[in-house]
């Protein structure tokens, strides 16, 4: 498979996570987001979501070229609401 910039495939034999990780770094400020195959319904759908997120973050960086912290903060705020596929939400911790 061809290398995709800023996106890494995670497939581990002994863990339950399989998916993609988007990582961008500007001026020592990091943005990282994980996309699980299971959560997105397959490897291809998770990759498409990761690519869309990467492209969106890069667009935010172009809008705020001198302030990556602000760009990442904007993207994190948007991702809080939209990082899960329709109908799926993270589990709530039950005590």
Please, which residues have CB within 8 angstroms of residue 58's CB and are 6 or more apart in sequence? 24
**Domain boundaries of the chain, sorted by first residue:** 7-82
φ/ψ (deg, to 5) at 73: -60, -45
CB 46 within 8 A of CB 54: no
> Does the pLDDT value for residue 55 go beyond 60?
yes
pTM: 0.75
Q: Which position has the higher pLDDT, 85 or 77?
A: 77
- Which pLDDT belongs to residue 1? 64
> Does the pLDDT value for residue 65 go beyond 70?
yes
């Amino acid at each position: 498979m061809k290398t995709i910039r800023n996106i890494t495939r995670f497939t581990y034999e002994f863990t339950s996570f399989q998916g993609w990780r988007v990582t961008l770094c500007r001026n020592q400020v990091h943005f990282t987001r994980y996309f699980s195959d299971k959560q997105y319904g397959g490897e291809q759908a998770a990759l498409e979501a990761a690519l869309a997120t990467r492209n969106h973050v890069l667009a935010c960086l172009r809008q705020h070229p001198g302030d990556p912290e602000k760009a990442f903060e904007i993207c994190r705020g948007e991702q809080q609401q939209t990082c899960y596929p329709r109908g799926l939400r993270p589990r709530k911790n039950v005590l």
